[in-house]
Structure 1
Amino acid sequence: MLDAILRRRIDPPVDRLAVKLAAGGASANAMTVAGLAIGLAAAAAIALGSPLIGLVLILLSRLCDGLDGAIAKHTGPTDLGGYLDIVFDFVFYGAIPLAFALLDPVHNGVPAAALLLSFYANGASFLAFAILAEKHRIITEARGRKSFFFTTGLAEASETIIAFCLFCLFPSWFPVIAYGFAAMTIWTFVARIRLAAKTFS
């Protein structure tokens, strides 16, 4: 929901940095791998009781996630790059709720599981729609040029990162925030199912 608004502000400085990195020999795939490595380090920091360090690492990880696509625009996008980007994003998205479950299993275990279930359902609806959109040769650039069809929704990347930041800033509120964001994610899942029924029936 917020991706379109935030991208207009974030993309220009990220693109300028990407130009410099690409000129220095940085590759989009290397940036994607770095983003995942830093994201997993964030999860480790959170699980070990340092959510503020985790917050800094989450933001660095997502900077890398923005830079990989921006670098690819200048060096040439590849199918492998698009594949790694989406797969590693899903790994990162699962790692952070898991980290909070490990941090406090008694209070965070069930909310984290509910959030992960919503991510699983939403991710499946997202990827399945992309596969069928490719089959039907349906294209969109609603979130910029992507390697696959990108359906929008109430819970997108920006909302996910905001939720993760709130987790780190207010760890004792993790259950409340997790349930709230799980509800937003399920809403997006249901909206995608309705869109699929309308588009492919």
Structure 2
Amino acid sequence: MLDGAVRRRLDPLLDGLGVALVKRGVKADTITIFGLGLGLLAAGLIGHGFYLAGAVMILLSRLCDGLDGAIARASRSTDFGGFLDIVLDFAFYGAIPLAFIVADPVMNGLAGAFLLFSFYVNGSTFLAYATIAEKRAMTTSVRGAKSLYFTTGLAEATETIIVFLAFCLFPGWFPLLASLFAIVCLYTAVSRIVLARLSFPEPR
């Protein structure tokens, strides 16, 4: 929901940095992989109870997630780059809730599992919609130039990062926050199913 507004503010800054990095020979895929590395480091820190340090690594990881796109726009986008970006994003999104489960399995286990379930369902609707949209030659620029069709929703990347940071700042609230956000993600999935029903009519 907030991704569009955030992108309008951040993209000009990231695009300038992307041009500078391209001139120094930095590749988008390298930043994508480095971003995942920072995300996994965040998960490791969180799993050992270093929540604030994990929050810093989350922010740096997501900075890389925005920067790889800026580098691609300043050089050359590739299908593999787009594939790698979405796969590693999903790996990051799964690693953070898992880290909180590891940090306190008794308190966080059920809520963390519920959140991962909601991510799984929401992610499947996102990717399935993108697949059918590609088959139907549909296009959109609502989230900028992307390697696949992006549908908007109540729970997008910005909301997820905000919630992850809230987990780190208030780890004792993880069960409540995770459960509430899981409901938001499932609502997003259901709304995308409804959108698919309206957008993919069968020919008469």
With structure 1 as the length reference, what TM-score do the two structures score? 0.99
Take 2:141 and 2:13, find their aligned partners in 1: how far apart are those partners?
A: 20
Which residue in 2 is equivalent to 1:189?
189
Shift of 1:17: 1.1
Shift of 1:11: 1.1
Which residue in 1 is equivalent to 2:75?
75
Partner AA of 2:149 in structure 1: F
Which residue in 2 is equivalent to 1:124?
124
Q: Which consecutive residues of structure 1, in runs of 5 or more, have no partner in the other structure?
A: none
Deviation by residue 1:116-173 (Cα, 9 ceiling, x = unmatched): 0000000000000000000000110110010010000000000000000000000000
Take 1:179 and 1:72, find their aligned partners in 2: how far apart are those partners?
A: 36
Take 2:6 and 2:148, find their aligned partners in 1: how far apart are those partners?
A: 21
Shift of 1:180: 1.1
Take 1:92 and 1:39, find their aligned partners in 2: how far apart are those partners?
A: 6
Take 1:42 and 1:164, find their aligned partners in 2: how far apart are those partners?
A: 11
Name the count of aligned residue pairs. 201
Shift of 1:195: 0.6
Take 2:3 and 2:166, find their aligned partners in 1: how far apart are those partners?
A: 17
The 3-state SS of whatever aligns with 2:190 is helix
Partner AA of 2:3 in structure 1: D
Structure 1 stretches of 4+ with a deviation exceeding 2 A read: none
Take 2:12 and 2:139, find their aligned partners in 1: how far apart are those partners?
A: 24
Take 2:147 and 2:7, find their aligned partners in 1: how far apart are those partners?
A: 18
Which residue in 2 is equivalent to 1:198?
198
Contact residue 15 and residue 74 of structure 2 kept, 8 A: no
Deviation by residue 1:53-77 (Cα, 9 ceiling, x = unmatched): 1000000000000000000001110
Which residue in 2 is equivalent to 1:60?
60
Partner AA of 1:80 in structure 2: F
Q: Which consecutive residues of structure 2, in runs of 5 or more, have no partner in the other structure?
A: none
The 3-state SS of whatever aligns with 2:154 is coil
Which residue in 2 is equivalent to 1:161?
161
Which residue in 2 is equivalent to 1:143?
143
What RMSD over aligned residues (CA atoms) do the two structures have, in Å?
0.6
Shift of 1:16: 1.2
With structure 2 as the length reference, what TM-score do the two structures score? 0.97
Shift of 1:199: 1.2
Which residue in 1 is equivalent to 2:180?
180
Take 1:64 and 1:3, find their aligned partners in 2: how far apart are those partners?
A: 16
Take 1:31 and 1:133, find their aligned partners in 2: how far apart are those partners?
A: 28
Take 2:160 and 2:59, find their aligned partners in 1: how far apart are those partners?
A: 12
User: Which aligned pairs between 1:95-134 and structure 2 lie closer than 5 A?
Assistant: 95-134=95-134
